[in-house]
Amino acid sequence: MEKILDRFLRYVAVDTQSNEESESQPSTEKQWNLLRMLCAELRALRVEATLDEFGYVMGSIPSNVEKEVPAIGFIAHVDTAPDASGADVKPQIIEKYDGGEIPLKGVPGLALKPSEFPELLHFVGQTLITTDGTTLLGADDKAGVAEIMDAVQYIMAHPEFKHGPIRIGFTPDEEIGRGVVKFDVARFGADYAYTMDGGEIGELEFENFNAASAKIHIQGRNVHPGSAKGKMKNAILIGQEFNGLLPVEQRPEYTEGYEGFFHLISFKGTVEEADFAYIIRDHDRAKFEAKKKLIAECVDFLNAKYGAGTVVLVLRDQYFNMREQVEPHYFVVEKAMKAMEMAGVKPKIQPIRGGTDGANLSFKGLPCPNIFAGGLNFHGRLEYVPLESMEAASKVILNIVTLFAE
């Protein structure tokens, strides 16, 4: 029986960063390395498992109870965010955390500080896994992958453990919004499922942002600055003007809870041409549509000012709020709440200020709330995860299986 910590450390050692600019599925060749590993490990545990041409690992464990019970799925994604490197991860293991600063030894002067991240004090006395400051950790979502595999290992090693049909899914490219675009829900064969992709212990989510991406291309006109009057169109300055048209109070750093935002995520450009990329988020569908309308109106305004075709917008919906799909099956949320309580975890139901594969799966007909994986400070060099949170998540999976079997 491999310990969950050892399993997790094996998984984060595999670089699986996804790439939004790629058109392939998965978006990066290196994701196949962990996908193949997981398929092989499921088979070694005597689980029927497949890996298809789109990078989806699907495992199936038949029921060992006589009565008919729903098939329950557990899903996690293998890719890590493009925001920070996932190569050559060097985890630090902090045993019996004392509540002080944690130096990230790969970068002199960089540390996890309770003064900046007070939630660290929730885990005094526990074992923390951090980065060394040079990469992200990959707990999003390799903690979820490890928790599912740990639960599967227990189930297959204990034939006396009663369960209905269980389905296991591992997906690529969640971090770039394409995680389940080609996921075959019918072939997966689950009636209900859970993504193990939440944050801090206790998190339970069945509503998330509506999400879109907006790419803005600005075509300027570059002439010698000595003779530029009345001729030059500086694409960088037009881009700054565009950004200034959006409401300041609707930026991520000024919002919380159910408040949506416009988030400028990248910029590159010269006087001749520039590109700005945004993500648009809101839990409320009407407000979400209003945000998309506003960004289009800003483009129209600048084209009227500087000439048609100066600013070009490509707007793409990414996912929608799963609440409308999950709420009619609210008992799946209640099962998760009870499973957490059985594991000694206090459930914290809250909206996701982000998205998961579960959102798109719910709209594909598979109601799929999201359960904590345990990690914090995702997508950056300050990411960490408490070992005890991962252990609790694995117990929650087993408890959910038990509750449905009953």
Residues involved in catalysis: 79, 174
CA–CA gap between residue 140 and residue 174 (Å, rounded): 10
SS3 393: helix
- In contact, 245 and 208? CB cutoff 8 Å: no
Cα angle 209, 212, 216; round to 5: 145
CA–CA gap between residue 122 and residue 259 (Å, rounded): 26
SS3 223: coil
Cα angle 159, 163, 166; round to 5: 105
In the block, residue with structure tokens 């890590």: 80
Q: Which amino acid belongs to residue 122? A: H
Residue 328, beta-bridge partner list: none
In sequence order, what are the residues at sequence separation of 6 or more whose Cβ sits closer than 8 angstroms to the Cβ of residue 147? 4, 76, 196, 373, 374, 390, 393, 394, 397
- In contact, 162 and 339? CB cutoff 8 Å: no
CA distances for 99 relative to 52, 107, 121, angstroms: 45, 21, 6
Concatenating the DSSP letter of every residue in 335-377 gives HHHHHHHHTT---EE--BSS--HHHHHHHTT----EEE---BS
From the CA atom positions of the chain, what is the Rg in Å? 23
- In contact, 274 and 268? CB cutoff 8 Å: yes
In sequence order, what are the residues at sequence separation of 6 or more whose Cβ sits closer than 8 angstroms to the Cβ of residue 100? 114
For 111, the token pair is 């540390």
Q: Is 49 exposed, middle or buried (0-12, 13-18, 19+ CB in 10 A)?
A: buried
For 332, the token pair is 């799946």
Q: Taking Cα atoms as reference points, which of 403, 145, 142, 177 lies closest to residue 277?
A: 177
- In contact, 155 and 60? CB cutoff 8 Å: no
- In contact, 167 and 20? CB cutoff 8 Å: no
